[in-house]
Amino acid sequence: MSQQETQLSPEYLITLGQQFGTPLYVYHAEKIKEQYAKLTTAFRGTNTVFFYACKALTNVNILRYIYSIGANVDCSSINEVKLALHAGFPPQRILYTSNGIGFDEIVEAQALGVIINIDSLSNLEKFGQKFGHSYPVGVRLRPNIMAGGNLKISTGHDKSKFGIPVDQTDKILALVGKYGLRIADLHIHTGSEIKDVDVFVKGIEILFDLIPKFKELQFIDLGGGFKVPYKEHDGETNITELAQKVEQAFANHASVNGSPVNGSGGRPLQVWFEPGKFLVSECGYFITKVNVMKDTDAATFVSVDSGFNHLIRPMFYDAYHRIENISNPTGAPKRYSVVGNICETDTFAWDRTINEVREGDYLVFYNAGAYGFEMSSNFNSRYKPAEVLVKEGAAHLIRRRDTFEDLLRNQIEL
């Protein structure tokens, strides 16, 4: 499948904007499939399984599509677990990587029969007390590796709240001894937007030292965090290189130690990854319409019919999203500040070159599939956008825009 086939054209995006109204999230199913194929192709012949980190985008139609192309799913809350079950994933293909949650949620996840990763000694102890050896469980470790696009999305460093620090492994082992815990996987997730594949290799090497201590291990889980190209020349994590280096790391370890690093019963360990952005970022387009043009000494502001209530990444992470004026693709390039209509500073892009913008034009934000709609809110009592899935050439509305009733739905009027 060529790059061309998996891009929606600007003309088509305009027709979707006209048909469904703006602001509008559009997802292209075949792009998700293309990304998934990159993973499975690079890792073919290896014992590797991919769990889609659905926190990036949980629309149930996306979950069903991801299931249909063969991926498993990684969840970060019990409600994501329930959505995945609702979408049709069987429990054994659902991973729940929890963080800082109450033990009652873990009990609920166990009752639902899903795979569970626990990230604190406290919950691990409670798990041991309640389930002993009867239910396998994974442990999320903090590898003390600094990596990721920015500090807010770095999770593996030595000041991070995530996981049990690797230097506390003895405490984990003590719990294993005390309660007979059946530790089936070791998990690490170092951050998001990691281009350097050596970060993953470093993670594996940390796990290699620990693996022999866990006698019932079957899986190692290296988390998600593959980089996607937000800027034109960013590039993405080289998955082929990653696959080669992962395999090489196992081979090197075997040659140094004289035997392969295996799991329980001498069986080879299965490797897991949890990609979110990699699968759904580029499939997403966020279409907005220009409300107001405002010339000032500081900038020419383009106010679109949206704001950080719909796409928070630029304001929250200083994230860059490519923006194109799809209504005037041949207009003279000019410099603009693209802002929202929210009651506080709400900048999507500062001093950005875009083809001449006029009121009423459609601006599209690229790479908007991951953590776009998913992190949206009703701030300023604005409606959340509609979502559309384009699949096999047809556009389907998969979430209607909010209505006024939605704003009042859970309120109790006294």
| Interaction site with ligand LLP (CB under 6 A) | 53, 56, 74, 97, 153, 155, 189, 192, 223-226, 274-278, 313, 317, 370-371
Question: What are the C-alpha distances in Å from 355 to residues 8, 230, 254?
Answer: 19, 19, 56
The span from the CA of 36 to the CA of 51, in Å, is 11
Q: Exposure of 176 by Cβ count < 10 A (0-12 exposed, 13-18 middle, 19+ buried)?
A: buried
Of the pair 53, 390, the CB lying nearest ligand LLP is at: 53
User: Does residue 120 sit in helix, strand or coil?
Assistant: coil
Distance of CA 191 to the CA centre of its chain: 10
Distance of CA 91 to the CA centre of its chain: 20
Of the pair 55, 289, the CB lying nearest ligand LLP is at: 55
Of the pair 223, 307, the CB lying nearest ligand LLP is at: 223
Catalytic pick from 54, 75, 283, 343? 343
Q: In the complex, what is the shortest distance from the CB of residue 397 to ligand LLP, in angstroms, rounded to a whole number?
A: 24
Of the pair 162, 362, the CB lying nearest ligand LLP is at: 162
Handedness of CA 164, 169, 174, 179 (dihedral sign): positive
Of the pair 240, 353, the CB lying nearest ligand LLP is at: 240
Region of 312 on the Ramachandran plot (φ > 0 left; ψ -120 to 50 alpha; else beta): alpha
Q: In the complex, what is the shortest distance from the CB of residue 14 to ligand LLP, in angstroms, rounded to a whole number?
A: 26
Question: What are the C-alpha distances in Å from 241 to residues 41, 49, 324?
Answer: 12, 17, 32
Q: Exposure of 229 by Cβ count < 10 A (0-12 exposed, 13-18 middle, 19+ buried)?
A: middle
Region of 298 on the Ramachandran plot (φ > 0 left; ψ -120 to 50 alpha; else beta): alpha
| Burial track 26-60 (b if 16+ CB lie within 10 A, e otherwise) | bbbbbbbbbbbebbeebbeeeebbbbbbbbbbbbe
Of the pair 362, 373, the CB lying nearest ligand LLP is at: 373
Q: In the complex, what is the shortest distance from the CB of residue 7 to ligand LLP, in angstroms, rounded to a whole number?
A: 21
Q: In the complex, what is the shortest distance from the CB of residue 160 to ligand LLP, in angstroms, rounded to a whole number?
A: 11
Of the pair 17, 149, the CB lying nearest ligand LLP is at: 149
Q: Are the CB atoms for 27 and 344 separated by under 8 Å?
A: no
Q: In the complex, what is the shortest distance from the CB of residue 127 to ligand LLP, in angstroms, rounded to a whole number?
A: 18
CA nearest to 383, candidates 312, 311, 306: 306
Strand positions, DSSP E, 29-146: 48-53, 72-75, 94-97, 115-118, 137-142
Q: Residue with CB nearest ligand LLP?
A: 276
343 noted as active-site residue: yes
Residue 325 parent element (H or E): strand 323-325
Q: In the complex, what is the shortest distance from the CB of residue 395 to ligand LLP, in angstroms, rounded to a whole number?
A: 25
User: Does residue 179 sit in helix, strand or coil?
Assistant: helix
List the catalytic residues: 343
